[in-house]
Amino acid sequence: MWGDLADWVGAGCLVAGALLSLAAGIGVLRFPGTLDRMHAATKPQVLGVLLLLLGLGLRLRAPADLGMVALVGIFQLATAPVAAQMIGRAAYRAGRVDPALLDADELADR
């Protein structure tokens, strides 16, 4: 009984994660600015991958597999924000960001 419930919840997490990842991909294609695309690529995509990993963990249930899924999730949480920050800084330095669109320009004097 609990196995069936875990399978259904896992399937729901897989579908929700796939939809969030799809929304992130569509956002990257549709948004006009570099910072808009960066935001669309990182915010829903990280949650989408974590939901996919949660669904995968609920479906697999083996301790070794759960450890590997947890490591992938931790790596995703650690690298996606850092990569987005580096992409944003590089875009700013390359002049691909319109300063008029920024609320606070923290990199102006650097």
Cβ-based neighbour number of residue 74 at 10 Å: 10
3-state secondary structure of 94: coil
Q: What is the pLDDT of residues 1-48, one digit of tens each?
A: 778 898 999 999 999 999 999 999 999 999 988 888 888 888 888 899
- Average the pLDDT over 82-96 and give the result: 89
Query: What pTM, to 2 d.p., does this model score?
Result: 0.81
Sign of CA dihedral 33, 89, 20, 26: positive
- Average the pLDDT over 95-105 and give the result: 83
- pLDDT for 110 beyond 70: no
Contacts of 57 (CB under 8 A, 6+ apart): 10, 65, 66, 69, 70
